[in-house]
Every structure is written in structure tokens, then in C-alpha cells.
């Protein structure tokens, strides 16, 4: 009776582990190939995935998160409260909130601030330096994986390790199935021998 209860539970656990390993492999392959193909951040359905490795936008965007931003369009369209991704004077990508919009001749300038920062950013952002808009999609901690995937060692490890785990688990499952088959055959042989002796 106990065996019949544990069998479907074991089967479900086995299916879940296989699914998680397979999805991890597919995701890491996608992240790595997409990063290499685009020459930068991975892209899906017109959105770029960017790693956030500072806490300036906490609590909305946690350190180590991955965010989806929408590139392109009219970069003079943003208003106070919008969250934009821009290139700062040090050539770094920053994602901060617009706190004020000013016009300087033909140019639009944005004053920006990280939600978790005490003061606005020291230099206003020219609309030409805005690259995308953040629209609220974030996955915590995955940014560390994306950042790691950009390195040569990272891309190799992220492709190889899930594959090895999946193959190892498949080999273990096959070994278990063969062991159960051997036990079943030996018990059937014993029953047959007992019947023949009678």
C-alpha cells in the first residue's frame, strides 16, 4: 500500500526536477546566445533585459535584479515620474526616475534621481542620451546571472553546467529504472521457481 502512494509522488518529483533543469538549460542558452548575438544585453520581443547591480532604485528594483526596458521611440516624450535608462557622463547605463523636465533651446533635459538616493543625480540627462524606458517588469537576483553570462567563463559555465546536470539526472533516472526492472525480474523468477517446486 505504501509503495503505491510513493510511486506517483516520486514520479511527480522526478518530472519537476527534469523540467526545472531543462528550463534552466534553455534559459541560460537563450541568455548567452542572445547576449553574444546582440553584442550586449539579451533581447526578447522588443525588450532588452538589463542587469541592475546597484541599490539606487530599491525597493522597486532590487540589487541584482533583471529588468526589461523598451528601447526606441521619441526620447523627448518622458514626464516626471517615468523611469528611464540613460548613458551618463562616464558611459555607464543608469536606470533612474525623472523628477523634473526642462527645455534648453531645442533640447529636452531630464533631472533624474534614484528612488533610494537622498539627492537627484548631479548632471541633467540630455534626451539624446536616453536609450530606453523601464515599464515595471523585474525579476529579482537574475541580474547576477545575466552579468556573469557576459564574461567568457560565465557563458561557458552557464551552457555546460545545466547540460551536465540534466545528463547526470537522466543517467540516474535510467539507472533507477533498470534497477527496478532487475528487482521485478528477480522477484518474478523467485515466484516462478516456487510454483515449479510445488
Query: Residue 39: is its pLDDT beyond 90?
Result: no
Q: What average pLDDT does the chain have?
A: 78
What CA–CA distance (Å, rounded) separates 142 from 70?
A: 18
Mean pLDDT of 155-177: 72
Q: Which residue has the higher pLDDT, 186 or 70?
A: 70
pLDDT of residue 12: 81
User: Of residues 54, 104, 151, 187, which has the active-site annotation?
Assistant: 54
Cβ atoms of 114 and 57 within 8 Å: the answer is yes
Where along the chain do its domains lie? Answer: 1-40+150-189, 42-149
pLDDT of residue 146: 67
CATH superfamily placement of domain 42-149: Umud Fragment, subunit A (2.10.109.10)
- Place 40 in a pLDDT band, splitting at 50, 70 and 90: low
Mean pLDDT of 137-147: 76
Task: Classify 196 as helix, strand or coil.
Answer: helix
Q: Which among 113, 148, 108 has a CA at the least distance from the CA of 130? A: 108
pLDDT of residue 25: 67
Fill in the DSSP letter of residue 124. Answer: P
pTM for the complete prediction?
A: 0.59
Q: Which residue has the higher pLDDT, 93 or 13?
A: 93
**Residue 54 is a catalytic residue:** yes
Amino acid at each position: 500500500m505504501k509503495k503505491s502512494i510513493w510511486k506517483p509522488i516520486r514520479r511527480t518529483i522526478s518530472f519537476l526536477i527534469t523540467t526545472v533543469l531543462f528550463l534552466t538549460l534553455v534559459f541560460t542558452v537563450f541568455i548567452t546566445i542572445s547576449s553574444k548575438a546582440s553584442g550586449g544585453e539579451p533581447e526578447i520581443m522588443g525588450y532588452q533585459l538589463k542587469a541592475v547591480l546597484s541599490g539606487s532604485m530599491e525597493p522597486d528594483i532590487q540589487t541584482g535584479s533583471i529588468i526589461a526596458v523598451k528601447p526606441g521611440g521619441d526620447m523627448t516624450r518622458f514626464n516626471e515620474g517615468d523611469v528611464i535608462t540613460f548613458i551618463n557622463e562616464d558611459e555607464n547605463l543608469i536606470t533612474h526616475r525623472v523628477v523634473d523636465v526642462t527645455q534648453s533651446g531645442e533640447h529636452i533635459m531630464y533631472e533624474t534621481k534614484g528612488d533610494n538616493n537622498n539627492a537627484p543625480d548631479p548632471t541633467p540627462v540630455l534626451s539624446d542620451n536616453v536609450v530606453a524606458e523601464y515599464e515595471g517588469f523585474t525579476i529579482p537576483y537574475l541580474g547576477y546571472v545575466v552579468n556573469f553570462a557576459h564574461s567568457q567563463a560565465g557563458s561557458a559555465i552557464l551552457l555546460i553546467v545545466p547540460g551536465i546536470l540534466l545528463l547526470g539526472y537522466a543517467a540516474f533516472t535510467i539507472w533507477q529504472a533498470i534497477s527496478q526492472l532487475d528487482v521485478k525480474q528477480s522477484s518474478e523468477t523467485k515466484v516462478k521457481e516456487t510454483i515449479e517446486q510445488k
